[in-house]
Amino acid sequence: MHISTLLPFLLSLLSLQTNACNPTRRSTNDNTTTNPFTLGTDGPAPPETLGYALNHIGLITNNLTAMKNFYGSILGMRLLFDAALTPEYTVTYMGYAQGGRNGTGFQTGTEMTMGKNNMYGLLEIVEFSVSDDTLVSSTQRTNTFSHVGLVVPDVVQAQTYLEGRGVDVLKRVGVPIEAFEGAVPNALGVGGFAGVHLEAKRRLVEAQGLIGWENFLLVRDPDGNLVEIQQQDV
């Protein structure tokens, strides 16, 4: 088959198979629901950005011990290092082995630290152990941070495991989002703090089958941050 004939078919498959904060394979609603997604058509990135990659995201905490336990002992991230810059200020880096899927090869903290700037998907946790600031998570109040996203080989198995570890599950696999209020809508920007955007709230609930939300596992970390866990594509 010539590539000019095959390309439209491949693009149609892509639109059905993509499944990470994006279209899922089916809708939980009737067939009149409009697919809200438009595939990207932007051109090549500026040549000056050749080699750029997302290395890490950063969180601020008042409870580094609990956060390290959650992302490390429970979710399996390795500790690269703690940098105690002052008695009250520590910068911690965590991530999965080789910056990708866990279990792809054991690496010591030293090895991971040496390769830190060539890794992906790292988590930087900054602790202010003495602070007058009240840190408010996105599940409590919509802000500029939404959630941490993970991909796992078996999301149902992950659900069983995390529930057994006492993790706060906000939405189980297969359960749709029905409410406009609460932790999950707050983190998505359509909760009680979204003001008059009632139409956006309604459309999110209607379109969640297309987005894939019903098949996501949503949990909360010790600071209240939303952690979104999805099924890995095979």
Query: Residue 53: pLDDT above 60?
Result: yes
In a domain, 16, yes or no: no
In a domain, 64, yes or no: yes
Q: What is the pLDDT of residues 157-197, one digit of tens each?
A: 999 999 999 999 999 999 887 666 788 878 877 777 666 56
How far is 155 from 230, CA to CA, in rounded Å? 6
| Residues 179, 117 share a domain | no
Domains in the chain, number: 2
In a domain, 164, yes or no: yes
Q: Up-side HSE of residue 129: CA atoms within 13 Å toward CB?
A: 12
Radius of gyration, CA atoms only, the chain: 20
| Residues 144, 131 share a domain | no
CATH number of the domain where residue 60 is located:
3.10.180.10
Query: Residue 224: pLDDT above 70?
Result: yes
At 53, list the tokens.
């990659």
CATH number of the domain where residue 223 is located:
3.30.720.110
- Reported pTM: 0.76
Residue 200 CB partners (closer than 8 Å, separation 6+): 190, 194
Show the domain range for 154: 137-233
| Residues 141, 229 share a domain | yes
At 157, list the tokens.
């198995």
Closest CA to 167 of 213, 218, 216, 127: 218
Final residue of a structural domain among 116, 135, 154? 135
In a domain, 12, yes or no: no
- pLDDT band of 221, cuts 50, 70, 90: very high
Closest CA to 125 of 83, 185, 161: 83
| Residues 181, 99 share a domain | no
